């Protein structure tokens, strides 16, 4: 599709907008806790990771959430919806400062964006800053639009406040 | 100071709320338990492999630095300058030749000895330290150190018994089943706060009753069901424990299903391989959770292995630092299996997040109820100590027998 636009600046603008819109829908799915919709934003062979800056900077591979493939992402959503016990909460995922960093030879797009997750427990008065970090992404362009081939969520805060119940 | 803190007449079958909420009790715990006659986990040797490597850690709430010296020995010193109390070491890990306090550049050897004080003799004959000032008397506070199978412990007590004696033979055997001599490879850390009293974490892992009820995940996939082969091990003192269970391929018996609200027939995973158990240990158990008094949990949840270090920050909250590990000899496939299985535990783990939430709820329940107390009566046939039924609180009672003795309460 993009090939029809001969102006590279226009193509870059459209791609940037498309990823921005993707991220807004991604945030909305998590905020609404529509986890099955969240699952569908990933490619079949996707890798999804939530880890601390401490681990990322030291090259340590562990993840708070570590999913190889969409099956594991689906299992995460399934477990949270059907089995997990946690206090009811509202979440706001704010995603900004999108930077599209490049395109691979196979057409995959590399990008990063900053994110903030705010949390309100139903029975507590305040919103708390639950997590602050950066998405390191690889998007695949498909006939159905963009899909995440890789999303590595690297958070800056040293301590997770109690528990991370809904994905980032 | 502890007037009004009287234990209920029922004895160990009740635990009063003040055990978990009182500031005076907390300060006494720091003094008598964390700074007392205990071995406290501080690091894995793999984290400080080379000379000059250091890692920050804690003994109770107290910040320490664990460092490897040129001769290979390991030192644990308080992260507090002798001069003005500065928490001088600010990096989480690193490699140094010496420690330098950034405020006035007092310089310490890796073993904590004070090497140099700038302008010690003053300038042009004026100022400076008294002539009697002796560097040897003003080093960093050093702790007693011991290691076993690559795990480093420290103690404020100078005359601690050897670790093997401290653990006792049963706990030592389970410790050595996990730390079986293979070189460790650190896979990374989880760190989280937990708004509950630190002892509740020990109790959660001395409470096999909850595992079949809170954790749907375990029950549904046959990892732990009431009736599975299991053991709740306690040492002679009652302070240490190991919750052991063996993975079963058997289905949940119909008569047990009705007792376990969590059980849901027909639930299945898209990627069940992450729950595979590769039997790599010389042990009858596929899962062991060792609670080693006062600040260490050793997790061997099938193939996901981890240290959990308790750092208390007051009666109502603690920090938990997890160090997930595998072994140097693991191939890529095994490492990735451990990482995938890691989804079970930690602050986002299918089981881990539920434990954190449940412990928070317990602390919440104690905030505004005067003279509250907990009911700990399960399994009266075993007053305290080891038991082979999961429907038991004997290990919790055993822990409090020890705690009351040490605390004088």
Parallel, antiparallel, or unpaired: how do β-strands A145-155 and A127-142 relate? antiparallel
CB A139 within 8 A of CB A22: yes
Other CB atoms within 10 Å distance of the CB of residue B200: 21
Whether A67 has its CB under 8 Å from any CB of chain B: the answer is yes
State ipTM.
0.95
Residue A3 above 80 pLDDT? Answer: no
Whether B271 has its CB under 8 Å from any CB of chain A: the answer is yes
Q: What is the pLDDT of residue B324?
A: 98
Please, which residues bridge with residue A93 across strands?
Answer: A117
pLDDT digits (tens, 9 = 90+) for A27-78: 999 999 999 999 999 999 999 999 999 999 999 999 999 999 999 999 999 9
Nearest Cβ partner for A85 among B214, B339, B347: B214
Whether B214 has its CB under 8 Å from any CB of chain A: the answer is yes
What does the alpha-carbon distance between residue B318 and residue B320 come to, in Å, rounded to a whole number? 7
Among chain A residues, the shortest Cα distance to B191 is held by A159
The reply to whether residue A159 touches residue B193, judged by beta carbons under 8 angstroms, is yes
Question: CA of A149 to nearest chain B CA: how many angstroms apart?
Answer: 18
Among chain B residues, the shortest Cα distance to A78 is held by B269
The reply to whether residue B348 touches residue A164, judged by beta carbons under 8 angstroms, is yes
Whether B185 has its CB under 8 Å from any CB of chain A: the answer is no
In chain B, where does the domain assigned CATH 2.102.10.10 lie? 40-147
What does the alpha-carbon distance between residue B365 and residue B195 come to, in Å, rounded to a whole number? 12
Residue B403 above 80 pLDDT? Answer: yes
Q: Indicate the range of A87-101, B61-75, B124-138, B237-251 predicted with least confidence.
A: B237-251
Enumerate the residues of chain B whose CB falls inside 8 A of the CB of residue A161: 192-193
pLDDT digits (tens, 9 = 90+) for B306-353: 999 999 999 999 999 999 999 999 999 999 999 999 999 999 999 999
Q: What is the pLDDT of residue B390?
A: 85
What kind and span of H or E run contains B174?
Answer: helix B169-178
Q: What is the pLDDT of residue B250?
A: 58
Q: Indicate the range of A3-12, A14-23, A122-131, B64-73 predicted with least confidence.
A: A3-12
B40-147 CATH choice from 3.40.50.1820, 3.40.50.720, 2.40.10.340, 2.102.10.10: 2.102.10.10
Whether A122 has its CB under 8 Å from any CB of chain B: the answer is no
pLDDT digits (tens, 9 = 90+) for B193-208: 999 999 999 999 999 9
pLDDT digits (tens, 9 = 90+) for B220-240: 765 556 667 899 999 999 999
pLDDT digits (tens, 9 = 90+) for A118-151: 999 999 999 999 999 999 999 999 999 999 999 9
In chain B, where does the domain assigned CATH 3.90.380.10 lie? 164-407
Q: What is the pLDDT of residue B221?
A: 64
CA dihedral A52, A54, A58, A59 (to 10 degrees): 0
Whether A63 has its CB under 8 Å from any CB of chain B: the answer is yes
CB half-sphere exposure, B5, CA atoms < 13 A: 19
Q: What is the pLDDT of residue B359?
A: 98
> What average pLDDT does the segment A14-33 reach?
98
Q: Indicate the range of A163-167, B34-38, B142-146, B249-253 predicted with least confidence.
A: B249-253
Question: CA of B185 to nearest chain A CA: how many angstroms apart?
Answer: 10
Among chain B residues, the shortest Cα distance to A67 is held by B340
**C-alpha B371: how far from chain center:** 29
Average pLDDT of the residues of chain A? 95
**C-alpha A84: how far from chain center:** 21
Average pLDDT of the residues of chain B? 94
Q: What is the pLDDT of residue B260?
A: 63
Q: What is the pLDDT of residue B389?
A: 87
User: Computed from CA positions of residues B195, B197, B202, B207, in that sequence, does the dihedral angle turn out positive or negative?
Assistant: negative
What CATH architecture is A2-155? Roll (3.10)
The confidence band for B189, taking pLDDT boundaries of 50, 70 and 90, is very high
What does the alpha-carbon distance between residue A119 and residue A104 come to, in Å, rounded to a whole number? 36
The reply to whether residue A58 touches residue B361, judged by beta carbons under 8 angstroms, is no
User: Domain spanning B164-407: which superfamily?
Assistant: Naphthalene 1,2-dioxygenase Alpha Subunit; Chain A, domain 1 (3.90.380.10)
Phi, psi values for residue B64, rounded to 5°: -130, 165
Phi, psi values for residue B32, rounded to 5°: -90, -25
Residue A2 above 60 pLDDT? Answer: no
Question: CA of A11 to nearest chain B CA: how many angstroms apart?
Answer: 38
The residue among A63, A78, A168 with the most chain B CBs within 10 A of its CB, best to mutate, is A63
Enumerate the residues of chain B whose CB falls inside 8 A of the CB of residue A160: 190-193, 347-348
- Percent of chain A exceeding pLDDT 90 equals 93
pLDDT digits (tens, 9 = 90+) for B344-390: 999 999 999 999 999 999 999 999 998 999 999 999 999 999 999 88
> What average pLDDT does the segment B74-100 reach?
98
């Amino acid at each position: 599709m993009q090939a029809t636009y001969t102006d590279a600046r226009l193509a870059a603008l459209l791609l940037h907008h498309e990823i921005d819109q993707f991220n807004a829908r991604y945030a909305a799915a998590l905020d609404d806790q529509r986890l099955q919709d969240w699952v569908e934003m990933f490619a079949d062979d996707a890798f999804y990771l939530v880890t601390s800056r401490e681990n990322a900077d030291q090259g340590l591979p562990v993840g708070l959430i570590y999913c190889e493939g969409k099956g594991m992402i689906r299992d995460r959503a399934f477990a949270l919806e059907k089995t997990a016990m946690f206090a009811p909460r509202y979440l706001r995922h704010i995603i900004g400062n999108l930077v599209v960093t490049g395109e691979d030879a196979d057409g995959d797009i590399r990008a990063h964006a900053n994110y903030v997750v705010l949390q309100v427990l139903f029975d507590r008065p305040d919103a708390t800053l639950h997590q602050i970090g950066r998405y390191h992404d690889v998007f695949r362009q498909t006939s159905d639009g963009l899909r995440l081939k890789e999303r590595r969520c690297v958070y800056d805060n040293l301590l997770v406040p109690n528990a991370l119940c809904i994905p980032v | 100071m502890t007037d009004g803190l009287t234990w209920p007449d029922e004895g160990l079958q009740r635990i009063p709320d003040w055990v978990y909420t009182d500031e005076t009790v907390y300060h006494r715990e720091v003094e008598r338990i964390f700074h007392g006659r205990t071995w406290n986990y501080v690091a894995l040797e793999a984290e400080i492999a080379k000379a000059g490597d250091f890692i920050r850690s804690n003994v109770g709430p107290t910040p320490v630095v664990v460092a490897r010296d040129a001769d290979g020995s390991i030192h644990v010193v308080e992260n507090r300058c002798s001069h003005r109390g500065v928490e001088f070491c600010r990096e989480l890990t690193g490699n140094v030749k010496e420690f330098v306090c950034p405020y006035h550049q007092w310089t310490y050897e890796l073993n904590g000895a004070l090497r140099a004080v700038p302008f010690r003799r003053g300038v042009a004959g004026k100022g400076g330290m008294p002539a009697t000032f002796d560097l040897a008397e003003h080093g960093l506070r050093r702790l007693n150190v011991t290691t076993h199978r690559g795990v480093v412990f420290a103690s404020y007590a100078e005359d601690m018994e050897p670790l093997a004696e401290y653990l006792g033979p049963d706990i030592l055997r389970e410790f050595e089943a996990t730390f079986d001599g293979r070189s460790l490879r650190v896979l990374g850390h989880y760190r989280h706060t937990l708004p509950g009293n630190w002892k509740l974490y020990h109790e959660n892992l001395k409470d096999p009753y909850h595992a079949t009820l809170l954790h749907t995940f375990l029950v549904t996939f046959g990892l732990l069901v009431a009736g599975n082969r299991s053991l709740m091990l306690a040492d002679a003192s009652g302070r240490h424990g190991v919750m052991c269970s063996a993975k079963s391929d058997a289905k949940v018996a119909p008569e047990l299903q009705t007792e376990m609200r969590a059980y849901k027939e027909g639930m299945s995973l898209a990627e069940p391989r992450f729950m595979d158990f590769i039997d790599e240990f010389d042990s009858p158990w596929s899962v062991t959770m060792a609670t080693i008094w006062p600040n260490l949990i050793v997790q061997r949840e099938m193939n996901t292995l981890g240290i959990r270090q308790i750092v208390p920050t007051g009666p109502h909250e603690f920090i938990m630092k997890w160090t997930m590990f595998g072994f140097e000899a693991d191939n890529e496939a095994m490492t990735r299996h451990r990482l995938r299985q890691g989804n079970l535990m930690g602050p986002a783990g299918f089981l881990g997040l539920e434990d954190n939430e449940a412990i928070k709820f317990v602390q919440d329940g104690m905030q505004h109820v005067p003279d509250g107390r907990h009911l700990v009566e399960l399994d009266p046939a075993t007053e305290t100590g080891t038991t082979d039924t999961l429907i038991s609180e004997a290990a919790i009672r055993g822990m409090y027998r020890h705690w009351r003795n040490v605390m004088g309460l």
